[in-house]
Amino acid sequence: MNEVEKGTLYLVPTPIGNLSDMTERAISVLKEVDCIAAEDTRHTRILLNHLDIHTPMVAYHEHNKHEAGPKLIEKMKEGMSLAQLSDAGMPVISDPGADLVKLALEEDVPVVPLPGPNAALTALVASGLDARQFTFIGFLPKTTAKADKLIDQVEPLFMPLIFYEAPHRLKATLKYLRKHLGNRKAVLARELTKKFETFTRGTLDELLQELETEPARGEYVVLVAGKSDEEAQQERSEESDWRKRAQELAEDMPLKEAARQTSREYNLSRREIYQYLLTLKD
């Protein structure tokens, strides 16, 4: 079957572990395109050799995307067909392919996605968490300020949160999530689709305890349950308590001092409490 069109960008998923998960259509496209853009050419060469595919390959990754991307777009505008691959799973997701797609669409280059393996969804459907709605986050930002801002945005959600994490950072990430989200139910999925595929289910505290005896190995998908109704109700009750206390104190002392004392009693942000009292005054 010859389905490849000239001047087109094909997004081709690759196995996340088990090479048998490569679809017939994906194999056909990789054989027919003029060129393959791979995140790691050495890694992708192993897959291509396994599939007996000899299509020319170029490197396209996070460190060369600004230089390589425009060149690939120009070649596609001249008629070259291109398949873009990540190291594993679906291109574009937590992958520099997102930039290539943006460039392609800006230059009216057709983009054709192929369905296939994805670590986040593979982990979710077997996690036991409510999968009707979810939020995919991927890797947390490296800087604390950016991570805090992101977690503040997703903390109130009533749906599972899905993260990716490397083994050497797993423990620190679980501690961070425990601190900011509470001791929620969570699942660790590792080595998905491979021989030693493992799902570990429990609370964040239990998963951290498990890592003390079983060191992290392999790449992980971390799934954390959304906020429960009980948590939300408790937070509303606590918020009502500190607001009432702040108002009482503000009747007998300056707003800044009332905010400072309430902050100490409830271990909350003094700035947040002060802004609340200013709102009441206005």
**Tokens matching residue 282:** 């206005």
Q: Report whether 138 contacts 163 (CB < 8 A).
A: yes
Domain ranges of the chain: 9-117, 120-227, 230-281
Has residue 282 got a pLDDT over 80? no
The confidence score (pLDDT) of residue 239 equals 63
Residue 102 binned pLDDT confidence (cut-offs 50, 70, 90)? very high
Q: CATH class for domain 120-227?
A: alpha beta
Has residue 241 got a pLDDT over 80? no
Residue 45 binned pLDDT confidence (cut-offs 50, 70, 90)? very high
Has residue 145 got a pLDDT over 70? yes
Higher pLDDT, 278 or 177: 177
Has residue 230 got a pLDDT over 90? no
Q: Taking residues 150-179, what's their average pLDDT?
A: 95
The single residue listed with the structure tokens 């425990």 is 178
Longest dimension (CA), the chain: 82
The single residue listed with the structure tokens 């009292």 is 277
Cα–Cα distance between 98 and 7 in angstroms, integer?
18
The confidence score (pLDDT) of residue 16 equals 94
The confidence score (pLDDT) of residue 261 equals 87
Q: Among 237, 281, 238, 236, which residue's Cα sits nearest to residue 258?
A: 281
The confidence score (pLDDT) of residue 232 equals 58
**Tokens matching residue 260:** 């400072």
Report DSSP state, residue 226.
P
Has residue 149 got a pLDDT over 90? yes
Has residue 238 got a pLDDT over 70? no
Number of Cβ within 10 Å of residue 10's Cβ equals 26
Is there a shared CATH topology between the 9-117 domain and the 120-227 domain? no
The confidence score (pLDDT) of residue 167 equals 95
Has residue 124 got a pLDDT over 90? yes
Cα–Cα distance between 189 and 38 in angstroms, integer?
26
Q: Burial, 39: exposed, middle or buried (Cβ in 10 Å; 0-12, 13-18, 19+)?
A: buried
Three-point CA angle 224, 19, 211, nearest 5°: 35
Cα–Cα distance between 164 and 183 in angstroms, integer?
19
Report DSSP state, residue 16.
S
* CATH code, 9-117: 3.40.1010.10
pTM for this model (two decimals):
0.79
